[in-house]
Chain A
Amino acid sequence: MKKLILSLSIGLISASLLLAGGYSVGDKASDFKLENVDGEYVSLSDFEDAKGYIVVFTCNNCPYAKAYQDRIIKLDEKYKPMGYPVIAINPNNTDVKPDDDMSSMKSRAEDKGYTFPYLKDTDYKVYKEYGATRTPHIFVLTKDKGDLKVSYIGAIDDNYQDASAVNDAYLANAVDALLANGKPDPSFTKAIGCSIK
């Protein structure tokens, strides 16, 4: 009986770990099909020439997300021509955060002149599968023999307050390493962010 309880609880713990886990660096990532602010549906496979993707979970109102808006545009402008376009996804539940609905996302994309897709995670499934917990939260994916491989997870850089005071541009360094056929180091970083609602 004791053994049964023990194995059951181990089973439950591992199941919950799997559910809570999301992706780790090195895992295979799934493509998705989500609605963009222009009304079109976007999948990663639409970008045939891309070498990989900078997937950014972000939102309209989180101060950390807003602090990085301009930097994300610059990253897209720099890395899209090199094969790593930014794909932004808004994962927040619009029942909890009405300001993260599609019409507010459209206004934001227009006001800021977003150069990249800004997609709504309508069923709140993609962020859970990826394991995003906060905004902004970055996942760099690389095309690898027909699959998508997670190559970097984490922060954009080491200073949300001041772009001109950044010492470690974690994300840009990671993409530079991948473009040079190397491995990002570090491939996993953390940052403070708003919990995804």
Chain B
Amino acid sequence: MRFKVITSTGLVIIWLLSSFTLKHQPRVLAFSDFEPHLHFSNDTTYLVNFWASWCTPCVNELPAFEKISEEYGNDKVKVLLVSLDFPKQIDSRLIPFIEKNGIKSEVMVLNDPDANKWINKVDAEWSGSIPATLIYNSGTRTFHEGVYTYEELRSLVEQYLQ
């Protein structure tokens, strides 16, 4: 009995610790594992934003995505923040950035150095500069290289939801 209590207490502690430390640990994916996120075919509209914590215009744009995520959270709209931060800076820079700014949208890291092999698979129009955003649902796709304002995003999301 006593052993069971100790074991379950231990498990609870491990669970608490892991949920605390893993809460902001983004998944790190090669392009082949990331690619399905560009082609989900369901009733949700996806906003896939390519950014990095060191990219000033990207960082300035994030609150607009967070606001969309918050306002349309019940409307089958999903924001995916795809970070291109360098792998060696995930712990030292990216995770502290996510925590400091209280980022709630899902963040994942795309780590695939030969971008020439995958940039066109995101969109043929993309030259490779960030920020860049792909908005899509099962029927329509909109790609934009550069910054979106909140108003622009909102108007696009409204069009997608109609």
Is B127 part of the contact surface with A, judged by Cβ < 8 Å? yes
Q: Is B41 positioned at the interface, with any CB of A under 8 Å from its CB?
A: no
Please name all residues of chain B whose beta carbon is closer than 8 Å to the beta carbon of A155 when the two chains form the complex.
115-116
Selected from A167, A168, A194, the residue in CB contact (under 8 A) with B55 is A194
Residues of A near B55 (CB, < 8 A) are: 194-195
Say whether, besides A63-B54, A134-B128, A161-B86, A192 and B119 are in contact (CB < 8 Å): yes
Question: Contact between A158 and B129 (Cβ–Cβ < 8 Å)?
Answer: no
CB-defined interface of B57-96 with A at 8 Å, one 1/0 digit per residue? 1000000000000000000000000001011000000000
- CB of B130 within 8 A of CB of A195, answer yes
B81 to chain A, nearest CB (A): 15
Q: Which residues of B contact A161 (CB under 8 A)?
A: 86-87, 113
Q: Is there an interface contact between B128 and A133, defined as CB atoms closer than 8 Å? A: yes
Tell me, in angstroms, the Cα distance from A161 to B28 when the chains sit together.
Answer: 15
| Contact of A71 with B by CB under 8 A | no
A154 proximity list for chain B (CB < 8 A): 116
Interface residues of B, count at CB 8 A: 23
Q: Which of A159, A165, A189, A195 touches B129 (beta carbons < 8 Å)?
A: A195
Q: Given known contacts A134-B127, A134-B129, is B116 in contact with A195 (CB within 8 Å)?
A: no
A195 and B126 contact, CB distance less than 8 A: no
In the complex the two chains form, is A190's CB within 8 Å of B113's CB? no
In whole angstroms, how far apart are the Cα atoms of A30 and B121 in the complex? 32
Residues of A close to B120: CB separation below 8 A:
190
Residue in A159, A190, A195 whose CB lies within 8 Å of B119: A190
> Taking CB as reference atom, which chain B residue is nearest A189?
B116
Shortest A131–chain B CB gap in Å is: 9
* CB-defined contacts of A165 to chain B, threshold 8 Å: 113
Q: Which residues of chain A are within 8 angstroms of B113 by Cβ–Cβ distance? A: 158-162, 165
For B129, list chain A residues within 8 Å (CB).
Answer: 133-134, 192-196
Q: Is B146 an interface residue (CB 8 A)?
A: yes
Answer whether residue A125 sits at the interface, using C-beta atoms and an 8 A cutoff. Answer: no
Beta-carbon nearest neighbor of A135 in chain B: B129
Q: 3 closest pairs, A vs B, by CB? A: A134-B129, A158-B114, A195-B129
